[in-house]
A and B are shown apart, each in its own frame.
Chain A
Amino acid sequence: KQEVTQIPAALSVPEGENLVLNCSFTDSAIYNLQWFRQDPGKGLTSLLLIQSSQREQTSGRLNASLDKSSGRSTLYIAASQPGDSATYLCAASYNNNDMRFGAGTRLTVKP
């Protein structure tokens, strides 16, 4: 069964701290892995997409890594800001478009 797990479910950090969100997937035969951000009452915004052949992707203060062999991905957020507060979801794609989502990590960055 293809499952995606995110730990922790919630995380609270002071502003300025660097942090890592974790994502694990049971089936390593992924096509790609995406990290999304969801604000309360809003849709999902794609942050980073890592193809199965890639090891990491970077966008601004965000860096996502992928280790297929261990079934893990991490999202690193540098110098966190209160505006980063949101729920972050990872999603593993199988067979091109069969996307399995984790339950998300709810991040709170305190001023």
Chain B
Amino acid sequence: DAGVIQSPRHEVTEMGQEVTLRCKPISGHDYLFWYRQTMMRGLELLIYFNNNVPIDDSGMPEDRFSAKMPNASFSTLKIQPSEPRDSAVYFCASSWGPETQYFGPGTRLLVL
């Protein structure tokens, strides 16, 4: 398996634009997680899905953030409208049950 795949790897956008981050989990994994990492706040869980259903989105910072998982092999994290304070590295991770999470390489987002 290729591991967790994220795209794009880097994204530079202007404030107010819509940003869509994509994730393909490891085949067969039933959990998918979205994290955000910044120098100030470290690594934070934003939302996670189980069998494509959002279970806990309490970490989503505000209504500008939304996440979907239309099928077992694809998820998106959308920010609309984006703001400079959204600049961070966004990681997607997947797991089989409540076991070891496998992380993708991350998407580095810079909002100007």
The interface of chain A, by Cβ under 8 A from chain B, is 31-32, 34, 36, 42-46, 49, 89, 91, 93, 96-104
The interface of chain B, by Cβ under 8 A from chain A, is 4, 31, 33, 42-45, 48, 50, 55-56, 91, 93, 95, 98-106
Q: Which of B43, B45, B99 contacts A49 (CB 8 A)?
A: B99
Given A44-B91, A97-B48, the answer on whether A102 and B42 have CB atoms closer than 8 Å is: yes
Q: Which of A43, A46, A96 contacts B98 (CB 8 A)?
A: A96
Kindly list chain B residues whose C-beta atoms are within 8 Å of the C-beta of A43: 4, 91, 103-106
Kindly list chain B residues whose C-beta atoms are within 8 Å of the C-beta of A102: 42
Count A-B contacts at CB 8 Å: 48
Kindly list chain B residues whose C-beta atoms are within 8 Å of the C-beta of A93: 98
The prevalent SS among residues of B at the interface is strand
Of all chain B residues, which has the CB nearest A93? B98
Kindly list chain B residues whose C-beta atoms are within 8 Å of the C-beta of A100: 45
The prevalent SS among residues of A at the interface is strand
Kindly list chain A residues whose C-beta atoms are within 8 Å of the C-beta of B93: 44
Q: Is B100 a contact of A97 with CB atoms below 8 Å?
A: no
Q: Is A101 a contact of B42 with CB atoms below 8 Å?
A: yes
Kindly list chain B residues whose C-beta atoms are within 8 Å of the C-beta of A91: 43
Q: Is A45 a contact of B103 with CB atoms below 8 Å?
A: yes
